[in-house]
Amino acid sequence: MENENILLKKIQDAKIKYTEGTSQEEIIGWEKQCKKFLQVLSVKDNKGIQMVLEKFTIELKEIDELLLNADSKLLSTEERDRVLDRKVMYSRFLDMFADAETGLVALEKKVDEDIAE
């Protein structure tokens, strides 16, 4: 989390340094994004969340296998739709954490590039 705190500090320093118009609005946007990403990542280390992440990962693999092997005799259209809905739900939940990690890296790169200009 130390690197993330460094990013937040860079953003706060930029807020003080660049006090004009759109630059300020963009910096406020960075800060909001950074805090959102940090909030998501702060719960990732929770043992309960880790358990859910592992369970959803396993469930997704099982769903993929089921969908690959199931024909219309095994799964009705309604059952298939429910399985696909679960897949979407699990994927979105897992993606939220993956997106926060990659988003934080991308944001730090953008902040560094824009501040260097």
For 64-96, write each residue's pLDDT tens digit. 999 988 877 788 889 999 999 999 999 999 999
Task: At 96, give phi and psi (nearest 5°).
Answer: -60, -40
Which of the residue ranges 1-5, 7-11, 13-17, 98-102 has the most confident prediction, judged by mean pLDDT? 98-102
Question: Distance (Å, rounded) from C-alpha 52 to C-alpha 47?
Answer: 9
Residue 28 has pLDDT above 80, yes or no: yes
Give Cα 13 distance to the centre of its chain: 25
Whether the full predicted model's pTM is greater than 0.85, yes or no, is no
What band does 14 get if pLDDT is binned at 50, 70 and 90? confident
Instruction: Give the lowest-confidence range in 7-16, 29-38, 60-69.
Output: 7-16
Question: Distance (Å, rounded) from C-alpha 74 to C-alpha 93?
Answer: 27
Percentage of the chain exceeding pLDDT 90: 58
